[in-house]
């Protein structure tokens, strides 16, 4: 079993910052791409940012210049630093990881989600 556990959501005013963290644990051989997705009320889940094991990043246009994704390959963690937050960033944020487990099976794992609310 592989699990992702997120933390760091909460309520923040427009223009503020939040940092989301996600830790992977379990039957892991190697973690390839990790990422963050979000789902706002009444909308479909969308990509926010991804990062490869080598550190290459990809961002949604809506968050470029405001959000930064990073990871620690030793600790099997990924973080999302969110600055200059806007009300439209309000969503449940989900951590995602593509994992090769110790049985050499490729798995796509999702966290349980953490709510970030941007409101005055």
State the pLDDT at residue 100: 93
State the pLDDT at residue 28: 92
**Mean confidence (pLDDT) of the chain:** 97
Question: CB pairs under 8 A, 24+ apart, for 101-110?
Answer: 101/2, 101/26, 101/27, 101/28, 101/29, 102/27, 102/28, 102/29, 103/27, 104/29, 107/2, 109/2, 109/3, 109/4, 109/24, 110/4
Averaged pLDDT, 26-33: 94
DSSP 75: T
Place of tokens 């991804």: 50
Q: Which pLDDT tens digit goes with each residue over 31-55?
A: 999 999 999 999 999 999 999 999 9
State the pLDDT at residue 106: 94
State the pLDDT at residue 49: 98
Residue 77 in contact with residue 8, Cβ under 8 Å? no
Percent of the residues in the chain that have a pLDDT greater than 90, as a whole number? 97
Candidates 68, 71, 66, 111; CA nearest to 93 is 111
Averaged pLDDT, 2-9: 95
State the pLDDT at residue 116: 98
| Half-sphere exposure (Cβ direction) of 99: Cα atoms closer than 13 Å | 24
């Amino acid at each position: 079993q592989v699990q992702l556990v997120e933390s760091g959501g909460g309520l923040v005013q427009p223009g503020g910052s939040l940092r989301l963290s996600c830790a992977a644990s379990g039957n892991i051989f190697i973690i390839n791409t990790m990422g963050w997705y979000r789902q706002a009320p009444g909308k479909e889940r969308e990509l926010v940012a991804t990062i490869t094991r080598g550190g290459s990043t990809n961002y949604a246009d809506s968050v470029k210049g405001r959000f930064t994704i990073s990871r620690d390959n030793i600790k099997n963690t990924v973080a999302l630093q969110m600055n200059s937050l806007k009300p439209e960033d309000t969503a449940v944020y989900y951590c995602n990881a593509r994992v090769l487990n110790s049985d050499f099976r490729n798995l796509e794992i999702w966290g349980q989600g953490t709510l970030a609310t941007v409101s005055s």
